[in-house]
Amino acid sequence: MTRVTIRGFDIYKGYLDTGAQTRLIEVLRPVLKSAPLFRPTTARGKEMSVRMTSAGTHGWVSDRRGYRYEPAHPAGAGWPAIPEEILGIWRDLTGLERLPDSCLVNYYGEGARMGMHQDRDEADFSYPVVSVSLGDDALFRIGNTTRGGKTESVWLNSGDVAVMGGPARLTYHGIDRIRFGSSRLLPKGGRINLTLRVVT
């Protein structure tokens, strides 16, 4: 494993070996069964290309009323617990006693992308965010703490884990595109990103 630091983002390349990646997909299967992926709508009524769901006490949702954390899936049931295998990654890389309240599961199918944004729906930005990449390669773009300016891009591959803390926590970022079919981890292709956050 190698670690690269770009604008305060620590990216652990190859943190998860193939066996660990496969295990994560296995533990995600019951999560996706009880909390199916849905396509969020922005407040302006546009559908996002990324499909999402969550585990934990808090899940991120977006609809015509805006975006926010909710204690339940849009279909009504509470979110499933964050699998222990995923919490282990958080413990290992952050060393924190406090565990994340939320594990956002983003699924990128062919052509999906995520525009540049800041993550600021959480109460305390002093906690880091941990992100796990699984499946197809993704071109990740990192900007600045204000919108605009020069950006840097890096490919995230299956098994990479990124930790965003300190000033990087409020950096603008997005996913320009994925290389659909570049990984064989997911039978139907695509990319899953797990994002662990302390929300309250």
What binding mask, one character per residue, do residues 89-108 give for ligand MD3 by CB under 6 A, x or -? Answer: ---------------x-x--
Q: How far is the CB of 184 from Fe ion (least distance, A)?
A: 26
CA dist., res. 161 & res. 138, Å (int): 13
CA angle 153, 157, 163 (to 5 degrees): 70
CA distances 86 to 16, 39, 154, 192, Å, are 11, 23, 23, 13
Tell which one of 31, 171, 183, 190 touches ligand MD3 (CB under 6 A).
Answer: 171
Q: How far is the CB of 42 from ligand MD3 (least distance, A)?
A: 14
CA dist., res. 38 & res. 88, Å (int): 26
In the complex with Fe ion, which residue's Cβ is closer, 87 or 170?
170
Q: How far is the CB of 97 from ligand MD3 (least distance, A)?
A: 21
Burial of 108 (0-12, 13-18, 19+ CB in 10 A): buried
Chain positions contacting ligand MD3, by CB under 6 A = 104, 106, 114, 119, 129, 131, 138, 162, 164, 169, 171, 173, 175, 193, 195
